[in-house]
Structures are given as structure tokens and as C-alpha cells.
């Protein structure tokens, strides 16, 4: 098998330009991106991506959950394609790099291989997974989870956003409900490039994170039902205030993660009073909890503590409380051979690197259950992500894309 010299590089300026060109779809005044999955801005970026893929000679296929696949033929079409990609949806106040880098770097890899006239043995397939973020529809990473067999397509199609619109309706609304059955397109491996979204690489001045694990995640939905009454006339001892009960619970969530630290984090990211009014004691609140740890046992212990805290607070404050786990993603161990391939690519090109655990959930974590998968991280400024201030350097994005390309070449093989 032919070897490609490790000095083959992607086009850094072209990659950087595409990241900024697509950032205009959903651009926010503060310099971030708001591109909720399956909304109008997601359609714009998808249309752009489809056109760019076709112009690059890729065959574009869309599956029943809107995931986009761009296939580049290999010499041996009996081999399963090597997948590479990420997602183009963002958080409501997201940045320009989360997901975007991995998807556009995949496109850049194909453009570079085309220009260099390199044919791979196995085909390669670039992927834009639907709804990685999970902020409009839960669970997060739903399309790749369905691909991995965690959910049926019908279950995912029936998930609704806060306005009652289902995934199926939203797909039809933007014209991205494809005909290909989910998971019909078999991949031989999957590699995802992503910004780290945390502070470690920057703090240690390392360019490449070789991701060998991903944290487990539990998402909860919760409600508290107290009793609405007059803010001026209800004496303090007689109140059944849902919001003050939630306030206690939020602190219990924080305390619990700290007690199980250092490898545990927890967040109440949404809290809504049902019918808010300045002079009404809140009678009903809904909230979410996000708990993460690399250890299954820690997640189970935190679950036990949170359920106990909910029972105790509800009894003492005479409110009713529900806390339901709506999504459980076990910790991920990435494929050792692929992790080594990423490390070898970084080493061969000459980038500094370290092994790292992913704190965020990623589509590659789902793929890891059904195909050998790996991830490559690059630093982001101050470790900030899920924020419009999210930033990364052109040099680091380029380095990540180069490692992605050489990892994919090693996995797909180069035709002589
Ligand atoms: C996805 O972005 C997550 O980790 O929540
Ligand atoms: Mn992401
Ligand atoms: Mn994200």
C-alpha cells in the first residue's frame, strides 16, 4: 500500500474561510451563532453544505433523520467507508467552532485529497449528524444514537420541541427528511475532530488532544408543584412555593457533584415558572438537570443522592416533585487501535499532544458502540464553549484537520 508523506497538508486558509462563511447562517450580534437544529438557519447551512459536497464530487445522501452523508469513492467499493464529520447545529447562544470545525474539516480533507490526486482503498464518507446539541429536541446526539441502535427512527421522529413541533414535522418543514433508512449506510470506522470545549490543552500548551474516553451523561426532566397564592397576603409559614423548593434543589445538585468529585459535574440549565407573575407565589416550575462523570458508579451514586434530596425537600416544603432520567449515555471508551492511529498521525506530523477525556457528549461516542471510533481535540480559547465567545486559532484548526486527514488515510489506505 502506498504511503502519503506526512507533510501533505490541508489548505489552512480555505478551511478558515469556510468556517467563517458558514458562520453567517444564524450569526448573532455578539459574534456567535444561533442555528437550532432543523430551523431555517440549519436549512441554510445544510443547503450550503450539500452544494459544497456536490461541487467537491461527493455523492450526497440524506437519511430518514436528516443526517447528511457525502460519499467519496474508494478503489475497493466492497470496503465499508471510513466516516469523518461532526454537526452543523449550534446552541441557542453558540459559537463558530463547536461541531462546525469537524464537519468542515472533513470537507477540507476531501478537497485536499482531490487536489493531490489521492485515491483511497476504502471509500470515505463525510457526515453532518442531525441534532447533536439537544437544545431544541432532547436527547442530544439523537441521530447518531439512532444510527447506533439506541433508539428507533420512529421514536426520534416523535420527539417534540417546546412549541410542540416534532422532529418529523421539523424535518419536513426544511425538506431534509431523506429516504435512506437510518443505519443502512454502514461505516467501517468514524473519526470526529472537535474543539476541546475545556481548558486542558491550552493550559498545557498542547496542540492535539488524543481522545481516549468520553464522560457518561444523565439528563433529567423535573417538575415541582406547590400552590399558587397571593404574594401580599400569604404568610411565610403557609406558603408552598415551588421556586424556593427548586432553589434548594439546585444547591443540592451542586453539592452532590462536588461530594462525588473531582470527576463529576452537574448543572441545572433550564428552569421555568409555569405562569410567572410578580405578585403570585410560584405554584409550578419545570427544570432540567445534566449530570456527567467518566464513571458509571459515580453517575449511579449521584442519581441516588439526587432522588433522596428531591424526596426530602418535597416533604419538608409540602410540594410534589418529580425527577425523571430522560437520557442516559454510559461513558465511552474509544477504540484503542484508532486512538493509536490519531496519536501516530499527530506524532508523525510533529504536533504536541496528550491523551484526554471528552467532557462533552459527541456523535462519535454513539458511533463507538457500533464501529471503531476516535476523536481529535484542538484547544479553544480559555476553554470556553456553548458561548458566543467560543474561539480557536487558525493554526490549531489546521493542525486538527491535518491529523484528521492523516488518520483517515491510515484507516482507509492509499491506493497505489
Ligand atoms: C453536547 O454539546 C453536550 O455535550 O451537551
Ligand atoms: Mn459539538
Ligand atoms: Mn455543543
**Domain residue spans of the chain:** 12-215+331-412, 216-329
Strands 124-128 and 82-86: parallel
Ligand 1 center to 261 CA (angstroms): 20
What's 38's DSSP letter? T
Q: Would you state the pLDDT for residue 272?
A: 98
pLDDT at position 335 over 60: yes
Task: State the DSSP H helix or E strand holding residue 294, giving kind and residue range, or none if neither.
Answer: none
pLDDT at position 238 over 80: yes
Q: Would you state the pLDDT for residue 235?
A: 98
> What are the φ/ψ torsions at residue 168 (nearest 5 degrees)?
-60, -45
Q: What is the pTM of this model?
A: 0.94
Strands 332-333 and 265-267: unpaired
User: Cβ < 6 Å from ligand 1: which residues?
Assistant: 133, 140, 360-361
Q: Which ligand is nearest to the CA of 95?
A: 3
Ligand 2 center to 101 CA (angstroms): 9
25-58 confidence digits (pLDDT tens):
999 999 999 999 999 999 999 999 999 999 999 9
Q: Would you state the pLDDT for residue 2?
A: 63
Which residues lie closer than 8 Å to 291 by C-beta, 6 or more apart?
217, 218, 219, 220, 253, 257, 264, 265, 266, 267, 299, 302, 303, 306
Atom of ligand 1 nearest to the CA of 290: 5
* CATH hierarchy code of domain 12-215+331-412: 3.40.630.10
**Among 316, 403, 404, 347, which Cα is nearest to 86's?**
404
Q: How high does pLDDT run on average in the chain?
A: 97
191-232 confidence digits (pLDDT tens):
999 999 999 999 999 999 999 999 999 999 999 999 999 999
Determine the Cα–Cα distance for residues 376 and 192; give it in Å rounded to an integer: 6
Q: Could you give the percent of the chain with pLDDT greater than 90?
A: 98
Residue 4: which pLDDT band, with cuts at 50, 70 and 90? confident
Which residues lie closer than 8 Å to 236 by C-beta, 6 or more apart?
none
Q: Which of 90, 329, 361 to mutate to test the pocket of ligand 1 (most atoms within 8 A of CB)?
A: 361
Residue 1: which pLDDT band, with cuts at 50, 70 and 90? low
239-285 confidence digits (pLDDT tens):
999 999 999 999 999 999 999 999 999 999 999 999 999 999 999 99
CA diameter of the chain: 84
Residue 5: which pLDDT band, with cuts at 50, 70 and 90? confident
Q: Which of 35, 91, 362, 384 to mutate to test the pocket of ligand 1 (most atoms within 8 A of CB)?
A: 362
Atom of ligand 1 nearest to the CA of 360: 4
pLDDT at position 7 over 90: no
Q: Would you state the pLDDT for residue 369?
A: 97
In this prediction, residues 393-402 reach a mean pLDDT of 98
Determine the Cα–Cα distance for residues 208 and 379; give it in Å rounded to an integer: 7
Q: Would you state the pLDDT for residue 6?
A: 74
Q: Could you give the percent of the chain with pLDDT greater than 70?
A: 100
Ligand 3 center to 66 CA (angstroms): 18
368: left (phi > 0), else alpha (psi -120 to 50), else beta? alpha
Q: Topology of 216-329 in CATH?
A: Alpha-Beta Plaits (3.30.70)
88-139 confidence digits (pLDDT tens):
999 999 999 999 999 999 999 999 999 999 999 999 999 999 999 999 999 9
Ligand 2 center to 383 CA (angstroms): 14
In this prediction, residues 147-173 reach a mean pLDDT of 98
Amino acid at each position: 500500500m502506498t504511503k502519503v508523506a506526512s507533510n501533505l497538508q490541508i489548505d489552512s486558509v480555505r478551511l478558515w474561510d469556510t468556517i467563517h462563511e458558514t458562520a453567517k447562517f444564524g450569526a448573532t450580534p455578539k459574534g456567535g451563532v444561533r442555528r437550532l437544529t432543523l430551523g431555517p438557519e440549519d436549512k441554510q447551512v445544510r443547503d450550503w453544505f450539500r452544494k459544497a459536497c456536490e461541487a467537491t464530487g461527493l455523492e450526497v445522501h440524506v437519511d430518514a433523520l436528516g443526517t447528511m452523508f457525502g460519499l467519496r469513492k474508494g478503489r475497493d467499493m466492497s470496503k465499508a467507508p471510513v466516516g469523518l464529520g461532526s454537526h452543523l447545529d449550534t446552541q441557542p447562544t453558540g459559537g463558530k467552532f463547536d461541531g462546525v470545525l469537524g464537519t468542515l474539516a472533513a470537507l477540507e480533507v476531501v478537497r485536499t485529497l482531490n487536489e493531490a490526486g489521492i485515491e483511497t482503498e476504502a471509500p470515505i464518507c463525510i457526515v453532518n449528524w442531525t441534532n447533536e446539541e439537544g437544545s431544541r429536541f432532547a436527547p442530544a446526539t439523537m441521530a447518531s444514537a439512532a444510527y447506533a441502535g439506541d433508539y428507533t427512527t420512529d421514536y426520534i421522529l416523535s420527539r417534540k420541541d417546546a412549541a410542540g413541533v416534532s422532529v418529523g414535522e421539523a424535518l419536513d418543514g426544511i425538506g431534509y427528511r431523506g429516504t435512506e433508512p437510518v443505519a443502512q449506510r454502514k461505516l467501517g470506522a468514524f473519526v470526529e475532530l472537535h474543539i476541546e470545549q475545556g481548558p486542558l490543552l491550552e493550559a498545557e500548551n498542547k496542540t492535539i488532544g488524543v481522545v481516549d474516553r468520553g464522560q457518561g451523561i444523565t439528563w433529567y426532566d423535573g417538575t415541582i408543584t406547590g400552590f399558587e397564592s397571593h404574594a401580599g397576603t400569604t404568610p411565610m409559614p403557609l406558603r408552598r412555593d415551588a421556586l424556593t423548593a427548586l432553589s434548594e434543589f439546585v444547591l443540592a445538585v451542586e453539592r452532590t457533584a462536588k461530594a462525588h468529585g473531582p470527576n463529576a459535574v452537574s448543572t441545572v440549565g433550564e428552569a421555568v415558572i409555569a405562569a410567572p407573575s410578580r405578585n403570585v407565589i410560584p405554584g409550578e416550575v419545570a427544570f432540567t438537570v445534566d449530570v456527567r462523570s467518566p464513571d458509571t458508579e459515580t453517575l449511579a451514586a449521584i442519581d441516588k443522592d439526587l432522588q433522596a434530596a428531591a424526596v426530602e425537600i418535597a416533604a419538608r416544603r409540602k410540594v410534589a416533585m418529580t425527577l425523571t432520567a430522560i437520557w442516559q449515555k454510559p461513558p465511552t471508551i474509544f477504540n484503542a487501535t484508532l486512538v493509536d492511529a490519531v496519536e501516530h498521525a499527530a506524532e508523525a506530523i510533529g504536533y504536541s499532544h496528550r491523551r484526554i477525556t471528552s467532557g462533552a457528549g459527541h456523535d462519535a461516542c454513539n458511533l463507538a458502540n457500533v464501529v471503531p471510533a476516535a476523536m481529535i481535540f484542538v484547544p479553544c480559547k480559555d476553554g470556553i464553549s456553548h458561548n458566543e465567545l467560543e474561539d480557536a486559532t487558525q493554526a490549531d484548526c489546521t493542525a486538527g484537520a491535518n491529523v484528521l486527514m492523516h488518520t483517515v488515510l491510515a484507516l482507509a489506505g492509499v491506493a497505489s
